[in-house]
């Protein structure tokens, strides 16, 4: 059976739609995220980029702008989605800094003077001033993940909750996978980002919530009396902790909620937190690097869009 992994959106490798790429291992493919995942990028601008790079691979941010004829604003959207890192080795901040110096239209202040100079010496070649390289402060690991979610809707680096795991461990909040594997009747506290809220009409006022962390998901049951007591937390929290009792019925496992805590402020702090994980190499490039197992595969399910 072929197994697919995921590679980041890339200015040089991505097409408009997501595509499959062969890796060094015959039993493993890589799903390359398409440029359609970059929020705000138009199909027309993406088509220009793809057509231009077919003639000759892009060498730099400046080369992309000059050859493709795509507005700098569109390239900034790709930079914010970290699309220059995989092949051009330009981080978000480095690519955005390079794009700041590019202007689609000549500045009005210098347009008239440039026209006069062109008339006087049509063959004169004026070399551009080369700016010195800037040492930009790198983003924290948490900020990189936040920007991934903002500009592309998901992250291949890490799950947002993983940055809070040490703090949760001190508070004796267990991972979702542990909660779902616990014995029937066990009382515990788990936490995660809220994925789904459901209150079917046939459930007689019972609400079902699905939360997710870096290890997997947990399914919560909210009885009507708790819903009335903690309505604000239930309906508004982006991330919550739930203290409750595990209920197992065959393969179906729920955590019957007894107390809920709004952790939205902790989720908002992820951008200020750092982590020890390195910047992930692109999985679709394993044919060049030799590949190897992804350490996150041992953590259970992958992160999904918040």
pLDDT in tens, 183-231: 999 999 999 999 999 998 888 899 999 999 999 999 999 999 999 999 9
Specify the pLDDT at position 26: 76
Q: Which long-range contacts (CB under 8 A, 24 or more apart) does 181-184 make?
A: 182/246, 183/246, 183/248, 184/246, 184/247, 184/248
CB of 11 closer than 8 Å to CB of 87: yes
> Is the distance from CB of 52 to CB of 68 less than 8 angstroms?
yes
pLDDT reported for residue 273:
81
Give, for 266, the enclosing helix (H) or strand (E): helix 264-268
- Other residues' Cβ atoms within 10 Å of the Cβ of residue 102: 15
- What is the CATH class of 160-270? mainly beta
Identify the helix (H) or strand (E) that includes residue 198. strand 187-198
Strand spans (E) along 41-128: none
Report, as ranges of residue numbers, the positions in the chain whose pLDDT lies below 70: 1-4, 103-135, 275-306
**Interior/surface letters 51-86, b for 16+ CB within 10 angstroms, e for the rest:** ebbeeeebeebeebbebbebbbebbbbbbbbbbbbb
Locate the domains of the chain by residue range: 3-112+139-157, 160-270
Q: What is the per-residue pLDDT for 297?
A: 36
Pick the CATH number of 3-112+139-157 from 1.10.150, 1.10.3470, 1.10.10, 1.20.1630: 1.10.150
Rounded to 5 degrees, φ, ψ at 198 are -135, 135
3-112+139-157 and 160-270 share one CATH topology?
A: no
**pLDDT the model gives residue 6:** 86
């Amino acid at each position: 059976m072929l197994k697919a992994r995921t590679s980041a959106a890339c200015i040089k490798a991505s097409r408009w739609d997501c595509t499959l790429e062969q890796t060094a291992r015959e039993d493993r493919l890589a799903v390359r995220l398409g440029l359609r995942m970059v929020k705000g990028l138009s199909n027309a601008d993406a088509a220009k980029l793809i057509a231009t790079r077919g003639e000759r691979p892009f060498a730099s941010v400046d080369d992309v702008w000059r050859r493709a004829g795509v507005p700098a604003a569109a390239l900034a959207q790709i930079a914010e989605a970290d699309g220059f890192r995989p092949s051009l080795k330009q981080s978000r901040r480095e690519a955005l800094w390079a794009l700041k110096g590019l202007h689609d239209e000549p500045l009005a202040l210098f347009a008239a003077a440039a026209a006069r100079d062109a008339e006087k010496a049509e063959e004169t070649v004026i070399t551009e001033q080369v700016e010195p390289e800037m040492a930009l402060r790198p983003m924290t690991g948490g900020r990189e993940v936040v920007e991934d979610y903002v500009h592309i809707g998901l992250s291949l680096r890490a799950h947002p909750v993983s940055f809070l795991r040490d703090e949760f461990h001190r508070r004796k909040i267990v991972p979702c996978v542990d909660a779902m594997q616990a014995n029937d009747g066990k009382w515990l506290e788990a936490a995660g980002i809220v994925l789904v809220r459901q209150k079917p009409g046939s459930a007689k006022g019972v609400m079902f919530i699905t939360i997710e962390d870096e290890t997997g998901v947990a399914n919560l049951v909210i009885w009507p009396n708790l819903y009335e007591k903690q309505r604000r937390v239930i309906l508004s929290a982006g991330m919550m902790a739930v203290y409750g009792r595990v209920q197992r019925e065959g393969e179906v496992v729920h955590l019957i909620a007894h107390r809920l805590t709004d952790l939205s402020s902790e989720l908002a702090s992820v951008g200020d937190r750092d982590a020890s994980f390195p910047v992930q190499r692109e999985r679709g490039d394993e044919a060049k690097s030799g590949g190897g197992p992804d350490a996150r595969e041992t953590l259970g399910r992958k992160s999904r869009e918040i």
